[in-house]
Structure 1
Amino acid sequence: MTGPHPAVAACRRGVRAALSEAALPPGSTVVTACSGGPDSLALAAAVAFEAPKQRLTTVAVVVDHQLQEGSGDVALRALEQCRDLGIDQAAVRTVDVAGTGDGPEAAARDARYAALAEAAASYDAGAVLLGHTSDDQAETVLLALARGSGPRALTGMARASGVGVRWLRPLLDVTRDETHAACAALRLEPWHDPHNDDPRYLRVRVRKALADLEADIGPGVVAGLTRTAELIRDDLTHLDDSATRLATELGESPWPVDELAAIATPLRTRVWRELLRRAGSPAASLGKVHIDAVDALVTRWHGQQPIHIPGSLQVRRGAGLIVVERRQVQ
């Protein structure tokens, strides 16, 4: 007796691991995003096979962006194939993609994620599964490198994120070629989005650049970029965990300058962010400029004035201590 095609098995392993790590209670519902393309169809097939083993109810959601003629027919065909695979329920969500300053790709992505979040809420789902592959991850990392983004951006897409509803990417160890092969082995008929070949879209240009690198340097670029993302993510997670522990040990303001100065710079900047957040500064508003200015009170002290930070707070140095306090409104 032979097993499944290796590409089918790879997709199933990814889904099995993601659902196991999510540890959803039996009877929970999981939503699978399906565009009808090869990546999401391969994902839907794997979910239909693996989820029932963990006593999970499956829902496929097809988002129709209405960006191309005949998009409704494509959505219905994807819906039919999901049902044929054995997905418990399937539905189409139609969205209006409003133009934004970040371009049509970002607008479509925002509309899609909003529709999936609404669907997850309506089905009381514990997780939403997305069909991003290792190729997608490599493209994300390459784009972050080209833009000169910080190390957090270089970690790419997380395998799991979100509180409450979990956003899962089970196929980050699966290549795009493997999802195509899985669809062929299962006799699925994926839709090939013409936008994926349109150089007007940034992601398409990045995809071509990655293919050129593979051709010029040799195979392994995609695997190398995805491996780099994993390594950076592990390092950053360790730094963040260490910073949280140190912030807890330091407690509330005031903080001795000597103790702060003894912390290595990459770790101390993270400690600052956590200390200031706990003191009442909104994390989303704390920028690098604020952290650098506060850190200068320790590393480049020359009697400077208190540093104003978001949350109507100020940070000052005096008598060998760093103090955070409510800013006086004039």
Structure 2
Amino acid sequence: MAYTPTIRYAIGQVRLNLADLGITRQPGRTREHGEHRPEPDAPLVLVACSGGRDSLALASVCATVCGTLGVRCGAVIVDHALIAGSAQVAERAAEQCRSFGMDPVIVRRVIVELSGVGVEAAARDARYQALQESARETGAAAVLLAHTRDDQAETVLLGLFRTMGLDALAGMPTTIDRDGVTFSRPFIGLTRGQTTEICRTLDIDWWDDPSNGDRSADEGGLSTDLPLRSRIRNALLPYLIHFVDADLVDHLSRSARIAQRDKDYLDSCAAEAYGRAVRIEQAAEADSAGISVHIDVRELADEHAAIRSRVIARAAADTGIEISSRQVEAIDDLIHDWHGQGGVRLSRGYLAIRQRHVIHLCHDGMHENR
């Protein structure tokens, strides 16, 4: 069939994304056009597919692109088991992926364990865990996610509510590494309208997740029981677009790309400083909880506050504790404004306290031995 401009653009974005990941035409595949049966040892690309319009559009396009490159293309469908009929939705998505010629097609049912982080966050954690396990089991080179430009704009607004600083503005990076598994977002430059067009053009039926809150104008107000992202998508973002009378989705996504570039630079500088200043120590006593992190103040004293704050935040993350921006600032005061003040209490019973030229992040009881 003759591809529309939108489909050609989507194909180009997937090809560029795979090339950035080092996945290109396989040796011996000399023809520029046409599909090629991949060799058993060819790289495998997995698409995370929910059965929604975005992920089905990506699955179809990715299967086409991989076919021209001689690359294997599969799919992973995660059934969160949170709504009635989820198993049927997952199996329907799997059938569609198989019809695109994808292999393997894996369906993983997960148990979403609520631990005070909310259903949405718990489901996301369970989903990534399932995707990582599938990637490791199959030896996949990468897992592709179907986030679009609209998702990016929503993420920026969500970040402004939930966090602060540059990281909030940076949104989602195109490519990330999670515990050794590469995740990438080739559709981050496409709109949700374009993925809808792709599905309609290719006659692909999709499923709308009710938790996304998609509704027509005559259905009344948006329920506050929906996740915050859904309320941003269906109420706040449309209002802001109407208010400024401009393509705010494009503006926010472009801003995120610029902020991500700056964030990458700061993160690289912070990683170098972290390597010099931070030492991690496992608790020696069998009955002692967790690990401790020790920050050498002398190595950070001359660093910019933007670097110091990133080192502190990463040190807390490596200790497995959540930390707020206020707590980061308070610990930073132990570095650049030290006048004998007491420690900073953190979550999970941890305390950050300065002793001479070292800041210790560890459990209260462990400080007694310092």
- TM-score bin (small chain): 0.7 to 0.9
Name 2:35's counterpart in structure 1: none
The number of aligned residues is: 318
Structure 1 residue 8, shift from structure 2 partner: 1.3
Give, as a single letter, the amino acid of the residue that structure 1 aligns with 2:307.
L
Name 1:210's counterpart in structure 2: 237
Q: Deviations over 1:261-300 (max 9, x none)?
A: 4x433234446678xx5xx994645955675455435533
Q: Deviations over 1:304-325 (max 9, x none)?
A: 16868999996455xxxx4568
Name 1:201's counterpart in structure 2: 226
Query: How many Å separate the matches in 2 of 1:106 and 1:268?
Result: 28
State whether structure 2 residue 117 is matched by structure 1 residue 90: no
Query: How many Å separate the matches in 1 of 2:93 and 2:144?
Result: 16
2:166 match: secondary structure: coil
Q: Deviations over 1:141-165 (max 9, x none)?
A: 1111123434323322221111532
Residue from 184, 187, 191 that aligns with 1:175: 191
Name 1:265's counterpart in structure 2: 305
State whether structure 2 residue 15 is matched by structure 1 residue 16: yes
CA RMSD, Structure 1 to Structure 2 (Å): 3.5
Q: Deviations over 1:210-263 (max 9, x none)?
A: 112112222311111112222221112212223445667889997769x934x4
Gaps of 5+ in 1: none
Structure 1 residue 61, shift from structure 2 partner: 1.7
State whether structure 2 residue 182 is matched by structure 1 residue 155: no
- Contact 2:97–2:105 (8 Å) recurs in 1: yes
Give, as a single letter, the amino acid of the residue that structure 2 aligns with 1:216.
F
State whether structure 2 residue 203 is matched by structure 1 residue 187: yes
Structure 1 residue 10, shift from structure 2 partner: 2.6
- Contact 1:19–1:51 (8 Å) recurs in 2: no
Query: How many Å separate the matches in 1 of 2:272 and 2:137?
Result: 38
- Contact 1:281–1:313 (8 Å) recurs in 2: no
Name 2:283's counterpart in structure 1: none
Q: TM-score, normalised by structure 1?
A: 0.80
Name 1:7's counterpart in structure 2: 6
Structure 1 residue 28, shift from structure 2 partner: 1.7
Name 2:156's counterpart in structure 1: 141
- Contact 1:313–1:327 (8 Å) recurs in 2: no
Sort the Cα spacing of 1:286 and 1:131 in 2 relative to 1 into closer, same or farther, 3 A. closer
Give, as a single letter, the amino acid of the residue that structure 1 aligns with 2:183.
W
Gaps of 5+ in 2: 27-41, 215-222, 280-294, 361-365
2:255 match: secondary structure: helix
State whether structure 2 residue 51 is matched by structure 1 residue 36: yes
Query: How many Å separate the matches in 2 of 1:281 and 1:254?
Result: 17
Give, as a single letter, the amino acid of the residue that structure 2 aligns with 1:154.
L
Sort the Cα spacing of 1:10 and 1:316 in 2 relative to 1 into closer, same or farther, 3 A. same
Deviates more, 1:221-230 or 1:155-164: 155-164
User: What aligned pairs does 1:236-251 form with structure 2 within 5 A after superposition?
Assistant: 236-245=263-272
1:170 match: secondary structure: coil
Query: How many Å separate the matches in 2 of 1:249 and 1:103?
Result: 36
Deviates more, 1:179-188 or 1:68-77: 68-77
State whether structure 2 residue 119 is matched by structure 1 residue 104: yes
Query: How many Å separate the matches in 2 of 1:250 and 1:108?
Result: 35
Relative contact order higher in (CA < 8 Å, ≥ 6 apart): 1
- Contact 2:90–2:107 (8 Å) recurs in 1: yes
1:152 match: secondary structure: helix
State whether structure 2 residue 312 is matched by structure 1 residue 296: no
Name 2:65's counterpart in structure 1: 50
Sort the Cα spacing of 1:7 and 1:286 in 2 relative to 1 into closer, same or farther, 3 A. same
Structure with more helix by fraction? 1
Identical positions, percent:
36
Sort the Cα spacing of 1:48 and 1:282 in 2 relative to 1 into closer, same or farther, 3 A. closer
Sort the Cα spacing of 1:248 and 1:67 in 2 relative to 1 into closer, same or farther, 3 A. closer
Give, as a single letter, the amino acid of the residue that structure 1 aligns with 2:75.
A
Deviates more, 1:15-24 or 1:103-112: 103-112
Deviates more, 1:246-255 or 1:128-137: 246-255
Q: Deviations over 1:173-226 (max 9, x none)?
A: 110000000111112112223332263222221112111211222231111111
